[in-house]
Chain A
Amino acid sequence: MSRRACAAAAVAALAALAACEHARPFAAYVEPNVPFDSTYPRRLTFSTSGDVEPAWLPGDSGIIYALSSGEPNQDQCLGVLPPGGGHLVRIVCHDLADPDSTVLLRAPAVGAGGRLAYLRERSVVGAAAPAAIELVVATLADPDPGHAVLRFPYTDAGGTLHGSAGSLRWLPGGDLVYIAEQLTFATPPQPPDTIATPLWIERLTPAGDTATIAVVPGSAGATSLAVDSAGALYFTLPGDSVVYRVAPGAASPSSWYVLGGIGALSGVQVHGNLLVAVGDTNLYVVDVAAHTRVRVTPPDSLRLARPALSPSGTRLVVEAARPGLFPDLWLYQAP
Chain B
Amino acid sequence: MRSPLLAGCLAALAACALGPARARGQTTGTVVGVVRDGSSQAPLHGAQVLVDGRLAALTDTAGGYEVRGVRSGWHQLTARLIGFATQQHDSVLVRSGETTTLDLVLQPQAVQLGAVTVQAAPDAVLDPLATATVQHISADDLRHLPVSTLEEAVALSAGAVGDSYRGGRLGEQAFIVDGLGLKNQLDASTGTLGLNLPPDILTEASLVTNGFSARYGQALSGLINVVTKDGGDAWQGRAAYETDRGLGAALDHGLDRVVLEADGPLVGGAKLLAAVDASGRLDADPVNAPPPTDPRDPRTAQPWMLPHNAGQELDAAAKLTVPFATRQTLRLFALHSDGRQLLYDQAYKYDQSFAPAQRLTGDLVTGHLQLVAPPSLSTPLLADLRVGWFTRDFERGTLVSQPSYAFGAFANSPFDFVGEGIARARDTVAARGAVPGFAVPDYSVNTPWGVPAFFLGGASRGEIAWNHFDELRGQVDVDVGLSRQADLFVGGEAVRQRVQTFQRVLAYLPVGDSVPPATASDFTPTSAAAYAEGQFRSQDLALTVGVRYDRFDPHASLAGGQITARSSLNPRLAVSAVLHGATFVASWGRFSQAPDFQYMVDAAFEDTTRTGRFRLGNPNLGFEQSTQYEFSVRARPAADMSLRVNAYVKQLTGLVASVPFGVNPDSSIFGNIDYGSVKGVEVLWERELKDWWGVRVSYTLQYATATASNAFQLRQPQIVGADTIYPGQVEFPMDYDRRHGVTIVAQARSPDAFGPRVLGVRPFAALEGAAIVRYSSGLPYSLTNAAGDSLLGAPNGERLPSQFTVDALLRRPLRLAGAQGSVYLDVRNLLGRRNVVAVRRDTGTPGLGAAGIQAAALAAYAANPQPIPYESPRYRAWADTNHDGVIAGQAELLPLYLAAAQDYYQPLFSYGPPRLVRLGVELIF
Secondary structure dominating the interface of B: loop
- A251 on the B face (CB < 8 A): no
* Per-residue contact bits, chain B 486-523, to A (CB 8 Å; 1 contact, 0 not): 00000000000000000000001100000000000000
A18 & B243 in contact (Cβ 8 Å cutoff)? yes
Do residues A7 and B305 form an inter-chain contact, with CB atoms below 8 A? no
Question: Could you tell me if B447 and A14 are in contact, using CB atoms closer than 8 angstroms?
Answer: no
Decide: B509 and A14 in contact? CB cutoff 8 A: no
Partner pick for B307 among A1, A27, A31, A45, CB 8 A cutoff: A27
Chain A interface residue number, banded = 35 or more
Of the listed stretches A81-89, A116-124, A208-216, A317-325, chain B binds A81-89
Determine whether the beta carbon of A87 is less than 8 Å from that of B446: no
Interface residues of A in 14-61 (CB under 8 A from B): 14, 16-18, 20-31, 36, 43-48, 51
Within 136-185 of B, Cβ neighbours of A (below 8 Å) are at: none
- A25 near B306 with CB under 8 A, answer yes
With A14-B921, A29-B446 as contacts: A22 and B282 at CB distance below 8 Å: yes
Q: What's the least CB distance linking B504 to chain A, in Å?
A: 16
Known A-B contacts A25-B302, A46-B871, A97-B509; the reply to A4 vs B817 at CB < 8 A is: yes
Residue interface mask B749-768, A partner, CB < 8 A = 1: 00000000001110000000
Task: List residues of B (430-461) whose CB comes within 8 Å of A's CBs.
Answer: 440, 442, 446-448, 450
B871 touches A45 (CB 8 A): yes
CA of A26 to CA of B249 in the docked complex: distance in angstroms?
Answer: 12
Asked whether any CB of chain A lies closer than 8 Å to the CB of B872, the reply is yes
B821 at the interface (CB under 8 A from A): yes
Q: Which of A4, A20, A91 contacts B816 (CB 8 A)?
A: A4
Write the nearest CB–CB distance from B799 to chain A, whole angstroms: 33
Which B763-780 residues have C-beta < 8 A from chain A? Answer: none
- In the assembled complex, the Cα of A185 lies from the Cα of B299 at a distance in Å of 54
Q: Are B350 and A25 in contact (CB under 8 A)?
A: no
Please, how many angstroms separate the alpha-carbon atoms of A319 and B254 in the complex? Answer: 52
On whether the beta carbons of B298 and A87 are closer than 8 Å, the reply is no
From 259 to 305 in chain B, residues with beta carbon under 8 angstroms from any chain A beta carbon are 282-283, 296, 298-299, 301-302, 305
Judging by beta carbons under 8 Å apart, are B302 and A26 in contact? yes
Inter-subunit contact B870/A36 (CB<8 Å): yes
Which residue from A23, A36, A96 sits with its C-beta under 8 Å from B442?
A: A96
B-chain residues with CB within 8 Å of residue A89 when the two chains form the complex:
873
CB neighbours of A25 from chain B (8 A): 282-283, 302, 305-309
CB neighbours (8 Å) of A46 from chain B are 869-871, 884-886
Shortest Cβ distance from B348 into A: residue: A28
Q: Which of A96-137 contact B (CB under 8 A)?
A: 96-97
Give the nearest-CB partner of B298 in chain A. Answer: A26
Contact check, B814 vs A88: say whether CB atoms are below 8 A apart. no
Q: Given A18-B241, A97-B440: A23 and B302 within 8 A (CB)?
A: yes
A21 to B886, CA, bound (A): 42
1/0 per position for B726-769, CB-CB distance to A under 8 A?
Answer: 00000000000000000000000000000000011100000000
Check: B832 CB closer than 8 A to any chain A CB: no
Whether B872 and A88, one on each chain, are in contact in the complex, defined by CB atoms closer than 8 angstroms, is yes
Name the B residues within 8 Å of A157 (CB-CB).
none
Which residues of chain B come closer than 8 Å to A45, judged between CB atoms?
Answer: 869-871
Chain B nearest CB from A72 CB (Å) reads 10
Q: Check if A87 sits within 8 Å of B306, measured CB to CB.
A: no
Across the interface, which residues of B come within 8 angstroms of A186, CB to CB? none
B814 touching A10, Cβ below 8 Å: yes
CB of B890 to closest CB in A, whole Å: 17
Complex Cα spacing A2 to B508, Å: 66
* Beta-carbon contact of A26 and B245 below 8 Å: no
Residue total for B at the interface (Cβ-Cβ under 8 A): 57
Partner pick for A11 among B299, B301, B761, B816, CB 8 A cutoff: B816
- Out of A14, A36, A88, which one reaches B885, CB within 8 Å? A36
Across the interface, B246 reaches (CB within 8 A) one of A8, A20, A31, A86, namely A20
Task: Please name all residues of chain A whose beta carbon is closer than 8 Å to the beta carbon of B759 when the two chains form the complex.
Answer: 1
Which residues on B sit within 8 Å (CB–CB) of A79?
871
In the complex, A47→B408 CA distance in Å? 45
Structural contact, A86 and B871, CB atoms closer than 8 A:
yes
Check if B350 sits within 8 Å of A24, measured CB to CB: no
Residue B575 at the chain A interface, CB threshold 8 Å:
no
Contact partner, B446, options A11, A30, A70, Cβ 8 Å: A30
Chain A proximity of B510: nearest CB distance (Å): 10
Please name all residues of chain B whose beta carbon is closer than 8 Å to the beta carbon of A31 when the two chains form the complex.
448, 450, 873, 875-876
Are the C-beta atoms of B919 and A17 separated by less than 8 Å?
A: yes
Cα(A47)–Cα(B760), bound, Å: 77
Among A22, A23, A24, A44, point to the contact of B871 (Cβ < 8 A).
Answer: A44
Q: Please, which residues of chain B bring their CB within 8 A of the CB of A8?
A: 816
Instruction: Report the Cα distance A87→B871, complex, angstroms.
Output: 4
The CA of A270 and the CA of B298, in the complex, are separated in Å by 48
Also in contact, A23 and B254, with CB within 8 A (given A29-B448, A36-B885, A81-B871):
yes
With both chains docked as a complex, state the minimum distance between the C-beta of B229 and any C-beta of chain A, in angstroms: 26
Give the docked Cα–Cα distance between A23 and B247 (Å). 10
Verify if A6 is at the interface (C-beta below 8 Å from B): yes
Q: Which residues of A contact B870 (CB under 8 A)?
A: 36, 45-46, 87
| Residue pair A14, B243 in contact (C-beta under 8 Å) | yes
Does B608 sit at the interface, judged by CB under 8 A? no
Given A4-B815, A48-B867, A88-B871, decide whether A23 and B249 contact each other with a Cβ distance below 8 A: yes
Q: Contact string, B329-356, partner A, CB cutoff 8 A, digits 1/0?
A: 0000000000000000000011110000
Residues B761 and A1 in contact, CB atoms below 8 Å apart: yes
Please, which residues of chain A bring their CB within 8 A of the CB of B823?
7, 10, 14
Q: Is the CB of A96 within 8 A of B872?
A: no
B305, B306, B450, B761: the one within 8 Å of A23 (CB): B305
Q: B298 touches which one: A16, A23, A27, A81 (CB < 8 A)? A: A27
The closest CB in chain A to the CB of B247 belongs to A17
In the assembled complex, how far is the CB of residue B833 from the closest CB belonging to chain A, in whole angstroms? 22
The answer, yes or no, to whether A3 is at the interface (CB within 8 Å) is yes
B485 CB–A CB distance under 8 Å: no
Decide if B395 is an interface residue (CB 8 Å cutoff): no
Task: Kindly list chain B residues whose C-beta atoms are within 8 Å of the C-beta of A30.
Answer: 446
> What are the 10 closest A-B residue pairs judged by CB atoms, nearest first?
A46-B869, A25-B307, A7-B814, A26-B298, A7-B816, A46-B885, A23-B252, A47-B869, A22-B254, A23-B249
13 of the cross-chain contacts (CB-CB < 8 Å) are A1-B761, A3-B760, A7-B821, A14-B921, A22-B252, A25-B302, A25-B306, A26-B305, A29-B298, A46-B886, A87-B873, A96-B440, A97-B508
Using a CB–CB cutoff of 8 Å, the interface residues on chain A facing chain B are: 1-4, 6-8, 10-11, 14, 16-18, 20-31, 36, 43-48, 51, 70, 79, 81, 85-89, 91, 96-97
Known contacts A3-B761, A23-B302; 9 further A-B pairs (Cβ under 8 A): A7-B821, A14-B243, A17-B243, A22-B245, A26-B305, A29-B448, A31-B873, A46-B886, A51-B871
